[in-house]
Amino acid sequence: MTGQVNPVIFVQDYAPRQQSKLYTLDLATGQATLVGEIGTEIYDLAVVGDSLYALDKKNFSLRKTMNLVKVAQTTGKTEVVGNIQ
């Protein structure tokens, strides 16, 4: 097939009180490839346009809030966008 686009699928691991890691997932093989450490404990990835976002769960039980972070798709590094009440 010509002109077929293979979308990039992002997944992250989650373990309580541990830094998450970002992976790409090959849907044809099921192979996950490590992109990098996210540097915080996150869950719920979402793509908006060309950007990847996540919810930072760090200290959630103490703050009762969380941060929306932008995740670099090539490294996994995060940048805080704002606090979610």
* Stronger pLDDT, 58 or 36, i.e. the higher one: 36
Confidence of residue 4 (pLDDT cuts 50, 70, 90): low
Mean pLDDT of the chain: 84
Q: Which amino acid is at 66?
A: M
Task: List C-alpha distances in Å: 55 to 7, 27, 40.
Answer: 22, 24, 10
Q: Give the global pTM.
A: 0.79
Residue 63 has pLDDT above 60, yes or no: no
Task: Give per-residue pLDDT as tens, 15-42.
Answer: 777 788 999 999 889 999 999 998 888 8
